[in-house]
Amino acid sequence: MSVPLTLRARKPGYAVMQRCLELQAAAPARSSWQRFRGVDVLVPEARSWYKGALGERRVAAVLDELGPEFTVLHAVPVGSGASDIDHVVIGPTGVFCINTKNHADHTVWVGGGTLMVNGQRTPHVHRALDEGARASRLLSAAAVSDVAVQPLLVIESASLRFGKKVPAVVTLRPQELGRWISGLERAWSNEATRYLAMVAEERATWHVESLVITDTLRHVQRFERLERDIAQAAAQRRFFRKAVVLAVLAVPAGGLLGYWWAVAAEALQNAA
């Protein structure tokens, strides 16, 4: 079992992946018939965590495009429990803690201290503000200097609309994030940036436990295997639907049952 020396080894969405896998572990094994029909692999309880992990990984891909003068940390553990900051960015334009929300296929509205998803209020803005204040305290204490950490909300959604009031937290679409961060005026010298990055990558800066042996790639590999299973089930569902349509259109009623069983047997053999 490998133990990362700093938070640079943390993968995006790491903590969310862990929770998703814990919930998914309770899923019963699918029968051959369920595999043939492409029944969804995910249990309902794990769905939001799965979407959250995908959202964090997409934002991480955007942050990867920042220049080498920026340090990006993912799934930064804070406090004494399982809480974490999705992403922390340290660069010449400032220090940022990024809260990622995956509301794909939903409508999001934000104004002042309010953010609504499909018309329902959420605590996203207030939690982002609290996260920024907490990150500022922790990083300032570790750096023995006042460090302002700016919270950002990154929202993936079908549409993102803004009210008349300026949002209390800068709210961006994933594709806007890198350009927004790199486009700010310089806030730190190169020397100060390197020092803050060195302090920020130490787990003890953020969490009471400076070393946790469960930080391994094993969970990431299991999550990627779950991704493949989900994609395979989706492909099988498409096949199943096409098979039904073709059977109805192409086969006379008398031979429909025999054709259907032949299709099913072939698909089950392929799945095995």
Which pLDDT score is estimated for 128?
96
The two tokens of residue 41 are: 């692999």
More confident residue, 254 or 235: 235
- Which residues have CB under 8 Å from 113's CB, separation 6+? 125, 126, 168
Across 59-68, 117-126, 138-147, 249-258, least confident range: 249-258
CA distance linking residue 244 with residue 28, whole number of Å: 26
| 170-220 residue pLDDT tens | 999 999 999 999 999 999 999 999 999 999 999 899 988 766 655 556 777
Helix axes 44-63, 14-24, angle to 10 degrees: 160
Closest CA to 230 of 46, 97, 9: 46
Q: In sequence order, what DSSP letters do the residues of 119-134 get, joined into one string?
A: TEEESHHHHHHHHHHH
Q: Between the CA atoms of 260, 261, 265 and 266, what dihedral angle is there, to the nearest 10 degrees? A: -30
| 7-51 residue pLDDT tens | 888 888 888 888 888 888 887 777 777 776 777 777 888 888 888
Which pLDDT score is estimated for 86?
93
Q: How confident is the model at residue 2 (pLDDT cuts 50, 70, 90)?
A: very low
Q: How confident is the model at residue 74 (pLDDT cuts 50, 70, 90)?
A: very high
- Name the β-bridge partners of 88: 73, 97
Closest CA to 21 of 230, 186, 171: 230
Closest CA to 240 of 22, 35, 86, 29: 35
Which pLDDT score is estimated for 6?
82
The two tokens of residue 171 are: 């709210």
| 84-143 residue pLDDT tens | 899 999 999 999 999 999 998 899 999 999 999 999 999 999 999 999 999 999 999 999
State the DSSP code for 163: -
Which pLDDT score is estimated for 270?
55
Helix axes 44-63, 218-250, angle to 10 degrees: 110
Give pTM, 2 decimals. 0.78
> How many residues are present in the chain?
272
Q: Alpha helices of the chain — where are they, by DSSP H? A: 14-24, 32-37, 44-63, 124-143, 174-182, 190-200, 218-250, 256-271
